[in-house]
Structure 1
């Protein structure tokens, strides 16, 4: 019977085995080709090959009945403990044979799967964690020792190497250093295996060095920096705040609730005002939060910091220990404001004033075009920045010459003015008031009381105090109710800038007075009103109304029973210089149904004019001060202190008629008002086309016309003339911005054909 034997039962990498075939004496196993190479036939081999050159007849092993052949078995590479056989299946059955099973193991042991480590982060001294790993096959346990493992020096030690299943699955313990220093942070430490030092059961050694696991030694708390910045937006006074918190390593557990806003003194807090959620970067190190600043808030000192630090931990589990604080940041969602001041509130000839514009903050966009002057009465120049922070600007104001108590305002138009963050507002700033008084020999008031008529000149006037340099009595013409009242004395008070005229007869309350001056000669001479030091004569002036300042009689005391308890029984209940009896003759406005209105209610408001300080009437006209379409403006405190009528001037412009003559009135204004509105009711039969006064050039103008902000209308069967006069303006007869308006004008008519007549055509002036 045939046999097949091998000289090894296990063949590892790098080894071969001798295979012996024993067959019958007369059997032929192989053929020999011409190159001397035997070809083995009918042999099935697993796990390797038998080389042709190595197959040979072995005489020493042959017997009388058998013959032996031998070959070299070379195992297949990279087989992992495979059970193999060699089978010879010749024709017939006498020489068939199969070898015993043998092992071919030509593969080196390797790590398989992914090694695991119980805790990759060691944060305490002597902390122990277990590393588990598996080889591709069982090892020769004796070949694998601690010396085959590598670990960075001083970074802990390995101990208790062991197998859990007889040599394929293994564990080893990693212990942190016993003297672990505080704030130690070493990342990605590697533990390796020297594979060349170990063998499998068959004895195949591993190759090279392989990394087993990485670990970290980390007991250093994470730290952070906070940067806060403002994000401009396209809307005025609207800002976003961006907060960026950057940690030096990945952290978890950080939320918006860890941001402390207690030192943000103004502005919105995160929450409902937050424009977005807390954003986390992919590496877990940077977090950002954006929120809106509350409108109209600003503050220069603001910081944010972190708190509730124990919830913020790195991947090793260390909590943030140091509380970081952001950079200081400024919050500004408030538009700038400006205050306008002048170093002179009243400017005289030859003077200039410094105008100062003080802004609440830096304004790079401020310039000449932003300055608004109402009735400038002068020019502004040399606008310049006077402080390094850009908050204070100054300019020089030069007044217009020959103006008498002209009242003006200066303000700033906020449009186009922005602070450095783009905040702005619209409209005008609060206006600053000033007065230009550059006229010489300008009479700013004329008052009469009894026999004394006082002419008050402007501050620019320097009257010659020498009484021998004075005008004669007859240079002044004073008319009282149209009748001349001779001047018996002229007294100059240079310090007070007044000339007091003594009249021949005393003026009584309610009489209308005018005064005119005619320089006695054409040249400069001592017998005239003269300027001190120069000897220049004052110019003549036409008739001016003088305010009758004789006080009203005291109201009767109703408590003594002299006139009963009804105030309307008083001589002049509203103290407007018109007796009640006269005011009660004013015709009332027709009612909507055409019926007659209440007598004495000239503006149709249901109250007798004699009972209202802002409404005054005569039989022919009714004046309303503080008027809105003929009725009193709610809350107005205007009061009429004088209302008198006089004859029309003898000389009027061509075509002008004054059926009611001149009307002079004096009105006290509410505090804080500089311009007052008036309504004058007259009979339509007068043909009045407006309320006419003279301007500073002596030209008659119609204040009840659109160019002057007035209008004419019909109400209740009467003609109503609406107009405005500015305190201290050119239509205020006393020329003083003193809270009182004195006017001398007329409800007059003129043919429309000559409206707009040029001054060259008519020497008396022209109309508008």
Structure 2
């Protein structure tokens, strides 16, 4: 059983090596051969006869070198570039005509081959992203731009792939190559540095080949500065009685530190009546309450201003930002109406007795029952009853229909007792009941009956002392001149009207509408006692100089007339009389008027003569009027009742006619009126 070494030579190797397979990884392509023994390890030169192509042979990749591993029966080619994971590669071999060739150890040359498929083991390109933030030092709610730079074109990238716990990102938009995506970013609050990052989940992002990314990536941290640098700004102001509450617009809260004195606040009233700030306190997160020196009246127009005080605490937020100064902030007045209506005038014409009330707002328009608590007495002793009563809330009047007509010259008195049961009492819209009254004198404007025609002419009677005859008119302008609004004043003259500061020429009341186009606004040029011209504007159905919305009151005549000879010597009339006529929608109603004049003419009211011959100033508070300086013009506000004591025709016929004077009367001149209520006097 001794082994014997067999040195007998076998048959010679005559079989050539053949291509078996090929695989590429990056720039290394390895070919494996089928061979019974080993390959010849001799060095190969250049590409050694090998060629490599991609995409079915349309694009060649150069072979830089070839190395034989004899024992492994492989040849490794080094390519001029790396093959990508998505490429399709083929390899070919043609034995070179010179130099070393691929052969086995027995010298058999390898068989040529063409376009043999190569297994591509090149790993897939990793998808990565780089994130930049335009501004890394952000304040809360500030917006900046975030940019995402991908290493390859990507699809399916949206906000679901972005994680940002500290802020809001818009939907990203891509450039044409889809490699750069941008979004806007708004942080919301300060958080820890670790949380201050924008993260991308690459697992949800795919490239053009449909390959998804792996893992996630975060941007560098950014900082958020939440310091409040915005000053509080006034938003609203509301007053109820003597409590004025200011609300501020502020991201945080106001500083609750105690305020001193008026804390820089001042309050003004359109009435001119003084009102000061006694104290100020911060109450609530964003409000300040001012306690005023007096209660605001219902309907009073107020404004508030603020200037940071030089010393002491001013208004500021919790971050120390001082509140912004402001001027003339309008105040919403919620002070309730607690003042009952008060009887102002009572005038009878025939069987219609009209009562006018002084009331800040309107009367309650609810229907009245029966005599509504009114009784009327006559000096003649002849019975007279109240058949019915009706309210005109807007005009603040109550009209009584009597059981008979009052005779001309008959003296009547009126009494009122609030009904105990049934029926509605006289009250304002807020429910404040009018006070009872007793023996209120009634102005009687019932006209004298027209006498029957005399059988023969009789001597002319002497002229009565009152009412005074209508004053003579001043010379009129051309009656045929254009007058589009039919107010008795030519358009050319109205177009020269001078209004309050800031008004255009031809706009005498500053409502931004030319007077020549408004039937309720008329302007003319009056002659002063010194011979100069001055502009005068009349507004009918006026509300602080503006015509009431929807008004149907019309001015049909406005002219200057000479003052009557019996004018009191103490009454100075620098522009004589201003005569006008106005038509009303409702006969017997009361209308407000405004007369604009130049304050330089030196007047202190609008004076009229009643049917008893007494001159009174209707533009004074006892008669419900007032005088207001408005943009360098003096506005005289007054009211006249159709058929009342200051309506020259004395008839409730839907037409008011006056011969009044914008005049000056020394207030030291006093006299007794011909017919006033008990306890009243005339100045």
TM-score normalised to the size of structure 2? 0.35
TM-score normalised to the size of structure 1? 0.31
Please identify the structure whose Cα radius of gyration is greater: 1
